[in-house]
Amino acid sequence: MEFLGGKFLQVFIALAVFAALIGLIMLIVDRAPKSVKDKLTIVGFLAPAAILMLVGLVYPAVQTSFLAFTNASGQPNGVDNFVWMFTQPEALATLRNTVIWTVLVPLLSTVFGLAYAVFIDKARGENALKALVFMPVGISMVGAGIIWKLVYDYRGPGIEQTGVVNAVRVALGMDPKQFLLDAPENTIFLIIVMVWIQTGFAMVILSAAIKGVPVELVEAARLDGANPWQQFRNVTVPGIRGALVVVLTTITIATLKVFDIVRTMTAGNYDTSVIANEMYTQAFRAGEPGRGAALALVLFLLVLPIVVYNARVLRQQREIR
Amino acid sequence: MTVMPAPDEAANSSRTQSRKDEGRPATPEDSAPIMRRVKTKLTSRWATAAAVIIATIWTVPTFGLLVSSIRPAAKQVGPRSDGWWNFFADWDFTFKHYVDVTAAAGSQSANLSQYFINSLAIVIPVTVFVLVLASMAAYIFAWGNFRGREATFIFVFALQIIPLQMALIPLLSLFTQVLKLPPGSYAQLWIAHTMFGLPLGIFLLHNFISEIPGEVIEAAKVDGAGHTTIFWRIILPLSVPALASLAIFQFLWVWNDLLVALVFSGGTADVAPITQRLAEISGTRGNRDFLNPAAAFVSIIVPLAVFLGLQRFFVRGLLAGGLKG
């Protein structure tokens, strides 16, 4: 049990040191003379978070941007890393896969999530039904990878299948398929895992938004003779536009950064790599930090427009307030 | 099926509870939807059928994992193996795999109990750090008075967008070469996770804290309370719902993380979290594949319990972050 004691001690010390630091800040702020008290409070409350974010996010981001223009031994090499990225077949496949992911995952998750939210709205046992689809959101992507490897499991023809999908294929008279090996469709089968996770997220947000659409509007449309599809298309969807944008952007960002699913299911082999996985492989496995940094920089540039858009919306909302 | 959530009744009572929390008393209008509900239900039988199909497809994979985890090794791999659904024909089960992955000794052991403790030892301090530091910063962004407050806040919001991947390489050399953090300790993981969790934490808490009525704070100031008193005695107690949802976020995020762990943990049983070990054992194809389902289930049981038990807070946090902007 020695290891356990050591681990406990580490956690305890960390928490104690942290509490002491925070206590110290509070004490200084509290005892400060009135003239500087307000300023000191602002500094004391903001500084710890600000320092951590500057050191942990801003500085590394700047550093990585420079690193992207160096080679494996740290010498500047101009745009070679980017030339590599846009000319080498395997790097191009990575970019292509990332695009496919970013298009399909937000779209499918939102469609399934919205459909499900509409279907179960006001149904008996709504909360239980919601929890079933929401559950994958709480499962780690590593766990999801193992779950779906089991689903996609492959045995040669003529042997009992152990994966659900292949068992169904065989039952329907088809040959079993190596879902994760056959490019290019294996990327689609990885994408399904991410859709499985993200649909619950989309569903919960959209369901709450649907409940926020005034009942009177839907009722009025119904009295005017709109059928359910028209009610949905012309009343509900415009009413939840804000939530739809949030869901689409959030899932897009999450998808751009997807790493664990690819890592655990194929490790990026068989033409399934995506930017985030390739970045890890190049920087920490292949000894090419420059290429890894270049990939990270591209990832940043892809996410940037979405964030600028969100920040602008945020700014407008705060001005209204 | 064991993975299923609380029974309907509990879910309903939690819903009334949350309504009460929002300070919206039940009105007579609430009885009207019941009539409508009866009507929609008749017209939407197909929709219900479609919903049931989706729910089934979404549940079967996890359920298959659970069933597989208690099937004997010979049923999972080798010549006599077959699909997990055959379990309902033979009812042949064992809990040996769970014992093997957590408690068995030796170099071949998955040794999950140690990694499980590591996960807890990483998650708990990080959650505390992020909650305290983010709420302090959020308080200032909501109620502090300084020039450039708006711009700074939007900058912090935008930080969410820096992909972790971008921060990893420089941060690792900073930790090991400049700060010389001891290898084989949790320090690197704690600090890295805290750094990465702050932008979202500040953003979520700010949304909530800025909604606290200004009169409450003014009244406390008139009574002579300083910033520290206001923060600890008024802001934090009033923000408990938001703090709870952020705590769940942070807990799930850190527990389920793989990337940060791979880069900063060094991969030993001293420090590495359970996700990393799981990725390791499932990545090596071998004659011990039949342990994977049990191992996976051990790793997802904690987040799943936290998640389903505290779903209500989690959802509220998502909504506060997403919809109010």
pLDDT in tens, A27-57: 998 888 888 888 888 999 999 999 999 998 9
Taking only residues 283 to 302 of chain B, the set having a beta carbon closer than 8 angstroms to any beta carbon of chain A reads 283, 292-293, 295-296, 299-300
Does the beta-carbon distance from B161 to A53 stay under 8 Å? Answer: no
pLDDT at A119 over 50: yes
**Sign of the CA dihedral A154, A156, A162, A166?**
positive
* Interface mutation vs chain B, best among A43, A57, A149, A314, most B CBs within 10 Å: A57
Instruction: Give contacts of B41 with chain A, Cβ < 8 Å.
Output: 122-124
Instruction: Give contacts of B165 with chain A, Cβ < 8 Å.
Output: 257, 259, 276, 279-280, 292, 295-296, 299
Least CB-CB distance to B256: which of A11, A141, A149? A141
pLDDT for B1: 30
From B258, B125, B107, select the one nearest B185 (Cα to Cα).
Answer: B125
Cis peptide before B25 (omega within 30 of 0): no
Task: Inform me whether the C-beta atom of residue A37 falls under 8 Å from chain B C-beta atoms.
Answer: yes
Mean pLDDT of chain A: 85
pLDDT for B130: 95
Least CB-CB distance to B47: which of A41, A119, A209? A119
Least CB-CB distance to A45: which of B136, B162, B185? B136
Least-confidence region, from A116-120, A171-175, B91-95? B91-95
Q: How far apart are alpha carbons A42 and A60 in whole angstroms?
A: 25
Does the beta-carbon distance from B185 to A49 stay under 8 Å? Answer: no
pLDDT for A250: 82
Instruction: Give contacts of B271 with chain A, Cβ < 8 Å.
Output: none
Least-confidence region, from A74-88, A266-280, B75-89, B259-273? B75-89
pLDDT for B91: 78
From B245, B248, B180, select the one nearest B208 (Cα to Cα).
Answer: B245
pTM: 0.81
Q: How many Cα neighbours within 13 Å face the side chain of A73? A: 1
pLDDT for B105: 63
pLDDT for B10: 37
pLDDT for B269: 76
pLDDT for B38: 46
To the nearest whole Å, the CA of A84 is away from the closest chain B CA by 19
pLDDT for B168: 83
pLDDT for B318: 64
To the nearest whole Å, the CA of A173 is away from the closest chain B CA by 17
Domains identified in chain B and CATH numbers:
44-94 (no CATH), 115-322 (1.10.3720.10)
Report, as an integer, the average pLDDT of A249-268: 84
Does the beta-carbon distance from A160 to B299 stay under 8 Å? Answer: no
Least-confidence region, from A167-171, A202-206, B320-324? B320-324
Burial classification of residue B186, based on how many CB atoms lie within 10 Å of its CB (0-12 exposed, 13-18 middle, 19 or more buried): buried
Domain A87-141+194-320 falls in which CATH fold?
MetI-like fold (1.10.3720)
Q: How far apart are alpha carbons A54 and A58 in whole angstroms?
A: 5
What is the total residue count of chain A?
A: 321
Report, as an integer, the average pLDDT of A211-224: 85
Instruction: Give contacts of A163 with chain B, Cβ < 8 Å.
Output: 83
Report, as an integer, the average pLDDT of A81-86: 86
Does the beta-carbon distance from A132 to B156 stay under 8 Å? Answer: no
pLDDT for B71: 83
Task: Inform me whether the C-beta atom of residue A284 falls under 8 Å from chain B C-beta atoms.
Answer: yes
Residue B46's SS3 state is helix
The residue behind tokens 């800040």 is A25
In this prediction, does ipTM exceed 0.90? no
To the nearest whole Å, the CA of B77 is away from the closest chain A CA by 9
Does the beta-carbon distance from A123 to B51 stay under 8 Å? Answer: yes
Of A245 and B20, more confident = A245
Cα-based torsion angle of the residue sequence A167, A172, A176, A182 in order, rounded to the nearest 10 degrees: -120
- Cα angle A25, A26, A30 (rounded to 5 degrees) comes to 120
Question: Tokens representing A187?
Answer: 């990327």
Instruction: Give contacts of A284 with chain B, Cβ < 8 Å.
Output: 168, 262-263
Distances (CA, A) of B89 to B82, B317, B325: 11, 44, 52
Report, as an integer, the average pLDDT of A256-274: 84
Task: Inform me whether the C-beta atom of residue B310 falls under 8 Å from chain A C-beta atoms.
Answer: no
Q: How far apart are alpha carbons A104 and B272 in whole angstroms?
A: 33
> What averages of pLDDT result for each successive group of 10 residues across chain B (325 residues)?
35 39 43 50 68 89 88 75 79 80 67 87 94 94 85 82 78 84 82 91 85 86 86 89 85 88 82 87 71 86 82 69 43
Q: How far apart are alpha carbons A41 and A26 in whole angstroms?
A: 9
pLDDT at A304 over 70: yes
* Interface mutation vs chain B, best among A139, A148, A261, A277, most B CBs within 10 Å: A139
Question: Tokens representing A19?
Answer: 């509490």
